[in-house]
């Protein structure tokens, strides 16, 4: 039986409960945040032990920036698909609660539940209806598909 390498990347369980996988990009797993209040994608670089941007190599940081911009396009597509076109993108790398490096890319509108403040910690997540979830995932996968890793 093949044993796993000791340093194999494992997604923090907090992401499993709060988000749905969209695509494995070159560096990150892209996931849809399960909160219909905002079109919202979380990018998790598949790097063991990374908690801050400085823990990525220079090359990986450049790749992360590319994937953030791509996730922005995907967030705009999700917003259009669920009838909440995006006016402004918000990007945040906080990790105060979940200690695995991740970047939030969120679509904002002046009529959203937290505008103009940040979204983190505001109220309770509102789940997607199944049909809206399918539309959101399909919409996100268009832009993300352009950079999906070959596996």
Query: Dihedral angle at the C-alpha atoms of 68, 71, 75, 76, nearest 10 degrees?
Result: 90
Shortest approach of a second copy to residue 144 CB, angstroms? 15
C-alpha–C-alpha distance, residues 48 and 147, integer Å = 22
Shortest approach of a second copy to residue 54 CB, angstroms? 5
Judged by beta carbon, residue 68 or residue 128, the one nearer a second copy is: 68
Judged by beta carbon, residue 117 or residue 127, the one nearer a second copy is: 117
Residue 110 φ/ψ, nearest 5 degrees: -60, -15
Nearest to 33 by CA among 68, 78, 69: 78
Judged by beta carbon, residue 54 or residue 131, the one nearer a second copy is: 54
Shortest approach of a second copy to residue 122 CB, angstroms? 9
Shortest approach of a second copy to residue 55 CB, angstroms? 10
Which residues make beta-bridge pairs with 108?
Answer: 88
Judged by beta carbon, residue 73 or residue 133, the one nearer a second copy is: 73
Judged by beta carbon, residue 63 or residue 128, the one nearer a second copy is: 63
- List residues binding a second copy (CB under 8 A): 51-54, 58, 61-62, 64-66, 68-69, 72-73, 88-97, 108, 115-118, 120-121
Q: Is the peptide bond before 116 cis (omega within 30 degrees of 0)?
A: yes
Shortest approach of a second copy to residue 4 CB, angstroms? 29
C-alpha–C-alpha distance, residues 75 and 78, integer Å = 5
Question: Do β-strands 40-45 and 103-108 pair in parallel, antiparallel, or remain unpaired?
Answer: antiparallel
């Amino acid at each position: 039986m093949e044993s796993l390498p000791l340093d194999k990347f494992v997604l923090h369980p907090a992401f499993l409960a709060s988000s749905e996988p969209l695509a494995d990009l070159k560096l990150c797993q892209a996931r849809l945040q399960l909160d219909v209040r905002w079109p919202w994608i979380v990018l998790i670089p598949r790097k063991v032990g990374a908690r801050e941007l400085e823990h990525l190599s220079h090359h990986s940081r450049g790749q992360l920036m590319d994937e953030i911009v791509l996730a922005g396009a995907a967030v705009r597509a999700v917003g259009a698909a669920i009838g909440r076109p995006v006016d402004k993108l918000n990007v945040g790398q906080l990790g105060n609660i979940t200690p695995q490096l991740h970047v939030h890319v969120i679509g904002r509108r002046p009529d959203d539940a937290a505008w103009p403040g940040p979204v983190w910690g505001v109220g309770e997540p509102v789940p997607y209806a199944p049909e809206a979830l399918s539309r959101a995932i399909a919409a996100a996968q268009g832009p993300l598909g352009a950079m999906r890793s070959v596996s």
